[in-house]
A and B are shown apart, each in its own frame.
Chain A
Amino acid sequence: MAYDLFLGCVIPARLPYLEASSRKVFEKLGIELTDVDGFSCCPDPTGIELIDHKSWLALGARNLSLCSNNGRVISFCSGCVETLKGVNYAIKNDPHAKEEANTILQKIGKSYDGSVEVKHFAQVLYENLDKVNEKVEKYLEGFKVAVHYGCHYLRPSEIINWDDPFEPVTIDAIVKALGAESVEYKLKMECCGNPVEKSDKDLSLLMIDQKFKAIQEAGANCVVVVCPACYQQYEFNQRDLNKKNNTNYNFPIFYLSELVALAFGYKPEELGFKFHRAKPKVFFEQINFSV
């Protein structure tokens, strides 16, 4: 089993420790990830697409044209997955989009036919849940996890074509397989608010405040995400929010790959946990979790 790896921008260039845990998890599962030279930004479905759809389509098609040798590509980022799946869907199903993209790609001597299969890393983990179960060495006892699916992992369902757009189960199932508890909370399916930060920071903070409130009320003690935009919103804006509102949220924010890697027996030092703002070390002490 092998996949091309599409890294995107945020994880490798700002949050490389999330890449480290993700790569380790796949290595342990024996699923080969191939690095491909020459990718650009996916481009961002909450950024570039909104200002210029045509550029988004063309750059996305160029990226996909680079992985056609393998035929299967995964990303650790929900935004990249949405773009790559969205561009793929357009090129496969809309002859005008296919022509539009290829007319542009012709200028750089490339073409794309829509034949690549795109997956989110959490999808591949869920599809290999038996293997994940086998590799767990250490159950995550005491972890009361608020699962945040995020929007682009699920919707638009016609394009993403994975899990239920409003009642998803996949990430909860993975978290439970690691021996952690998944805590139900109000607003579980709501947006983290990251995409509106570029337009209105206060609104973005209000949205994450509502999520934190609900998570706190439900008694969860940490949050798990599968998207670097959600990760930044929870992790970095937690501090901004505390400053602005005089609140004292201090939830450790984990990437799904970090929890899996921890359960697989990797040490916090190997996973770069020291780079977190809300320190996992303090959390582990609080819940008597020995690492």
Chain B
Amino acid sequence: MSIINYEFRNEVLKHNASLNYCYQCSTCSGGCPVALATEGKYNPRKIIEEAILGLQDKLVEKQDPNPWLCSTCQKCVELCPQKVELTEIFTLIKNKCFEKGLYPEGFSAQGQAVFENSVAIPYSKAILTRREQLGLPVIKLAPIDEIKSILKETNFDKNILKGGVKE
């Protein structure tokens, strides 16, 4: 059984009112490359339906359908006859999953790298040598204290340290 969470529903609507316009025509799912590849197991229309109904347990805790399978290709956003901003709504749902530590581990590694180094991929010695061989300049990255100040302000630091557990 699913429980309607009105507070969650209102939060999604407040974040992006375009959710209101959805009439469940399924154009989004028809154009979705992941829906095609998974033979409908991943279904963007269904995620929107659950958001309209305020089914937080399905969207965040059970993740059924799994919002992390969205490839962010934005085809659904272009195709939607009602101009529902699906990707933005999915982002809010995934942000909620992140706050609860329910997200794939790959995102955690990337987030920690940015928090520690200001970039997702730190420069290894081998790459610095290769850059020199290719005649490329030395890159001066962001002062890490500035990046950490920003990421503390947004609570990213606390959330990223919890790590991701959802496979």
Residue positions of A touching B, CB distance < 8 A: 7, 9-10, 12-14, 16-17, 19-20, 23, 35, 37-41, 43-55, 58-59, 62, 104-105, 107-108, 151-152, 155-157, 165-166, 190-191, 193-200, 203, 206-207, 210, 272, 275
Contacts and interface: CB of A to CB of B under 8 A. Distances in A.
A166 B111 CA distance: 32
B114 A53 contact: no
Interface of B: 33-34, 37-38, 66, 68-75, 77-78, 87, 91-92, 94-95, 98, 103-104, 106-107, 110-111, 114, 118-124, 127, 130-131, 134-137, 139-143, 146-147, 149-151, 153-154, 156, 159-160
Contact of B33 (A49, A55, A58, A190): A190
A13 B106 contact: no
A35 B138 CA distance: 10
Given A9-B121, A55-B156, A155-B77, A199 B151 contact: no
A38 B140 contact: yes
Contacts of A203: 34, 37-38, 69
Contacts of B121: 9-10, 13-14
A95 B159 CA distance: 27
B146 A62 contact: yes
28 contacts: A12-B139, A13-B121, A16-B130, A19-B136, A20-B136, A23-B136, A40-B141, A40-B142, A41-B114, A41-B120, A43-B120, A44-B120, A46-B72, A47-B111, A47-B120, A51-B159, A52-B95, A62-B146, A107-B150, A151-B71, A155-B74, A191-B73, A191-B75, A193-B33, A195-B72, A196-B70, A207-B71, A275-B130
Contacts of A49: 91
Given A55-B150, A191-B75, 12 more contacts: A17-B134, A38-B141, A39-B142, A48-B114, A49-B91, A52-B111, A55-B151, A107-B153, A155-B73, A157-B78, A191-B73, A207-B71
Contacts of B135: 20
A199 B129 CA distance: 32
A272 B134 contact: yes
Contacts, number: 181
A190 B71 CA distance: 11
A272 B129 CA distance: 13
A51 B94 contact: yes
Nearest to A47: B110
B133 to A, nearest CB: 8
B71 A196 contact: yes
B153 A196 contact: no
Given A41-B118, A107-B153, A199 B123 contact: no
Contacts of B114: 40-41, 43, 48, 59
Given A16-B131, A156-B77, A195 B150 contact: no
A21 to B, nearest CB: 9
A6 B76 CA distance: 29
